[in-house]
Amino acid sequence: MPLINKLCIIGVGLIGGSVGKAVKKHGVAGHVCGVVRRKGALDEVIRDGAVDSATLDVADAVKDADLVLIATPVSAIVPTAVGFAPFVKAGCIVTDTGSTKVDVVKGLETVLASRGFVVGGHPISGSEKQGVINGKPDLFDGAPCIITATKNTNGAAITLVSKFWRVLGARIYRMTPEIHDAIFARVSHLPHFVAAAIMNSLGQAEGGPAQLLQYAGSGLKDSTRIAAGSPSLWRDIALSNRKELLKAIRDFENEIKKVRESLEKSDGDALEDILMRARALRSPLV
Amino acid sequence: MPLINKLCIIGVGLIGGSVGKAVKKHGVAGHVCGVVRRKGALDEVIRDGAVDSATLDVADAVKDADLVLIATPVSAIVPTAVGFAPFVKAGCIVTDTGSTKVDVVKGLETVLASRGFVVGGHPISGSEKQGVINGKPDLFDGAPCIITATKNTNGAAITLVSKFWRVLGARIYRMTPEIHDAIFARVSHLPHFVAAAIMNSLGQAEGGPAQLLQYAGSGLKDSTRIAAGSPSLWRDIALSNRKELLKAIRDFENEIKKVRESLEKSDGDALEDILMRARALRSPLV
C-alpha cells in the first residue's frame, strides 16, 4: 500500500515535476494529480511522466487529496492556499517547497487553520534550471530537505511529510521556520545576490563584459553559476526573507571590506589570514 | 623534429607538472628537465611522468635550454630568474605561467635584458588542486592561455611560445601585461576574494559555520569552490595585482550595496532588475 492515496502537486515545474517523477518511481502515492496554470501544460506534464492526471482546477484537484504539495514560486504559495483552502478534506496535510519559511508557514497556518494540517518544507535541489522537462526523479537523492515545526504543527503530519521526503531520498532536518530562514539567508540567498553582484561589477569594466568573459576560467563560471537563476523567483525569496538576508549581506560587506582594507595597506599577512580562515571554514564542503 | 630541443621547467607542481606531461604526450620537446626545490621531489616528478630529468640546480638546468618555463608561485618568478639569468645560453626564451603579468614581465625583462627573450604567459587552468600528482596532460586542452607582448618582446619568441601552448591544446590570446591584469583582476582575482568573504561571513552566523554547512546546496559549494585555493599563492597574486584588484573590489562593493539598498527599501523591481542584468551578463558563460 502506498504511503499516500492521493497526492496533489500544485505547480509542476522543476521541483513539482521532480517530486512527481520521484513519487511515481518509488510508488509513494496511489495517484498523483498535478495542477498547472497553462492549458498547454496539461498534456505536457502527463507525457513527461510527472503526474497521472492534470487539471487547471485547483479546487477540484485538492478535494480528495491526502497530501497537497505546493511547489509554486514563494510569492504564490499563500495566495494559492487561499484559493483551495475551502475545498480540502478534513485531515488533509498541506506542505510546500518554498525557499523561505517564516512568511510562508505563518500564511499557510492562517489560511488553513481548522481545515488542514500545515507542515513547511524546503528540499534543497540545487538546480538553476526550470521547467518540468528538466525535472528528474533523483533530484532529491541525498539532498537536504528541511521540515519546519511550529507550536501549531501536528505531530502525525510532520511524521508523514518527513517520511515522504525520506522515501524520495532526501536527508531530513527539522527546525523552526525562523532558524530555517536565518540559515538559508547565509548559505543560499546571500551567495545568490553576491553572484549577481560579481556579474554586474564585470559589467563596469572598460571594454565591456563580453570582452572579459572569453577569458573566464572555471572559477568565475562556478562562482556565478547561480546568477543564472530566475530573477522573479529570487526577487520574491529576498523580499520574503528580507530581515535575515540584510543581516547576512551586512556581515558579508564587512568581510569584503576587510579584504579591501588589507589590500589598500598592502598587508599580505592579513590577506593570507583571510584566505586561511575561509579555506578552513570551507573544508567540510567537499 | 620536436618544436624545442630542451625545455626546462622550473617548479614542477600542478601547472609545471601538467605542462611536462602535456609536452611529453605531444612530443613538443626533445628533453624536459625539471627543477625542483626538495630532494624528495627529484624522483617523484620523473616517476610521475612529468619530466625526463630532474635537478635542484637551476643554473645547470637552464644552461643548454632553448625554452625556460618558470612555473613557480607568482612571488618567486622574478627572484628565480635573478638566480639563473647569468647561465642561460644566448637566444634562450624565458616564459612563465604567473597569474599576474605587469610586475612579473617587467621584472623578467629587467633581469634577462640582453641575455634571453622574455615572453609572459598565463595558462588558465582552473584547478584549485596542487602538486605534480594532480597534474594532467590535458589540463590546458581548450583552456585560454594569455601571451603578453610589450615593446621589448621579440617577435620570433612570441611566435614560439604561442605555438608551444597551442600544441598543448590552449586557445591563445595576445595582449599587453596591463590589459591582462585589468581583465584578470575582474574575472579571477575578485571572485577568489569574494568567495573567501562569503565563507568568512558564514563564520559570523549564530550557532557557528559547521551548523550551517550541512544545509549547503550546490549553490554555496560552487560559488565558494575557489576559496579552497592556496592562501599564500593568492595573497601574492593580490599584492602583485593590487591596483586593478582594488578597482574591481570597489566596483563590486558598489554592486552589493545596490542589492542591500534595494532590499532595505523592499524595492522588488530594483532587485529583479539587478538579477536580470546579472543573468543577461552571464549568459555567454555556459
B278 min Cα distance to partner chain A (Å): 5
The yes-or-no verdict on residue B107 having pLDDT over 90 is yes
Residue of A205 and A136 predicted with greater confidence:
A136
| Chain B neighbors of A251, CB-CB under 8 A | 201, 204-205
Closest CA to B235 of A279, A282, A198, A213: A279
- Taking the C-alpha atoms of residue A221 and residue A215, their distance in angstroms, rounded to an integer, is 11
Cross-chain CB nearest to A193 (options B205, B228, B259): B259
Q: Find the Cα–Cα–Cα–Cα dihedral A76, A82, A86, A92, rounded to 10°.
A: 50
Q: How far is CA A274 from CA A255, A262, A279, B201, B245, in A?
A: 9, 9, 9, 11, 16
pLDDT tens profile B15-25: 999 999 999 99
The yes-or-no verdict on residue B1 having pLDDT over 90 is no
Q: How far is CA A165 from CA A61, A121, A162, B124, B213, in A?
A: 21, 9, 5, 42, 20
Q: Say whether B183 and A238 touch across the interface (CB within 8 A).
A: no
Sheet (strand A121-123) strand order: A121-123, A144-148, A171-175
β B121-123/B144-148 pair status: antiparallel
Q: Are B219 and B198 in contact (CB under 8 A)?
A: no
Q: Are A32 and A51 in contact (CB under 8 A)?
A: yes
Residue found under cell 489560511? A111
Beta bridge partners of A10: A35, A70
* Mean predicted confidence (pLDDT) in B246-271: 98
pLDDT tens profile A198-246: 999 998 777 777 788 888 878 898 999 988 888 999 999 999 999 999 9
Residue of A113 and A163 predicted with greater confidence:
A163
pLDDT band at A126 (very low <50, low <70, confident <90, very high): low
* B184 part of contact set with chain A, CB < 8 Å: yes
* B261 part of contact set with chain A, CB < 8 Å: no
The DSSP element (H or E) to which A199 belongs, if any, is helix A190-202
* A219 part of contact set with chain B, CB < 8 Å: yes
Beta bridge partners of A33: A8, A53
* B214 part of contact set with chain A, CB < 8 Å: yes
Does the interface ipTM go beyond 0.85?
yes
- Taking the C-alpha atoms of residue B21 and residue B38, their distance in angstroms, rounded to an integer, is 20
β A93-96/A67-70 pair status: parallel
The yes-or-no verdict on residue A286 having pLDDT over 80 is no
Residue B125 has a pLDDT of 80
Best mutation target, A255, A262, A264, A269, to test chain B (most B CBs within 10 A): A255
pLDDT band at A254 (very low <50, low <70, confident <90, very high): very high
pLDDT tens profile B113-133: 978 899 999 999 866 678 898
CB proximity under 8 Å: A 100-119 to B: none
Q: What is the number of other CB atoms lying within 10 angstroms of the CB of residue B196?
A: 30
- Taking the C-alpha atoms of residue A9 and residue A123, their distance in angstroms, rounded to an integer, is 14
Residue A144: Cβ-neighbour burial (10 angstroms; 0-12, 13-18, 19+): buried
pLDDT tens profile A70-87: 999 999 999 999 999 999
Residue B140: Cβ-neighbour burial (10 angstroms; 0-12, 13-18, 19+): buried
Grid cell, residue B188, equals 579571477
What residue of B is the nearest CA neighbor of A227? B279
Q: What percent of chain B has pLDDT over 90?
A: 84
Q: What is the number of other CB atoms lying within 10 angstroms of the CB of residue B137?
A: 20
Q: Say whether A202 and B188 touch across the interface (CB within 8 A).
A: no
The DSSP element (H or E) to which B29 belongs, if any, is strand B29-35
Residue found under cell 510562508? A104
What residue of B is the nearest CA neighbor of A237? B268
* Mean predicted confidence (pLDDT) in B91-104: 97
Contacts of A46 (CB under 8 A, 6+ apart): A34, A52, A53, A54
pLDDT tens profile A49-60: 999 999 999 999
| Chain B neighbors of A274, CB-CB under 8 A | 193, 196-197, 200
Q: Say whether A259 and B249 touch across the interface (CB within 8 A).
A: yes
The yes-or-no verdict on residue A128 having pLDDT over 70 is no
Q: Say whether B268 and A126 touch across the interface (CB within 8 A).
A: no
* A228 part of contact set with chain B, CB < 8 Å: yes
Alpha-helical segments (H) within A27-84 = 40-47, 58-62, 74-84
What DSSP character marks residue B171? E
β A171-175/B116-119 pair status: unpaired
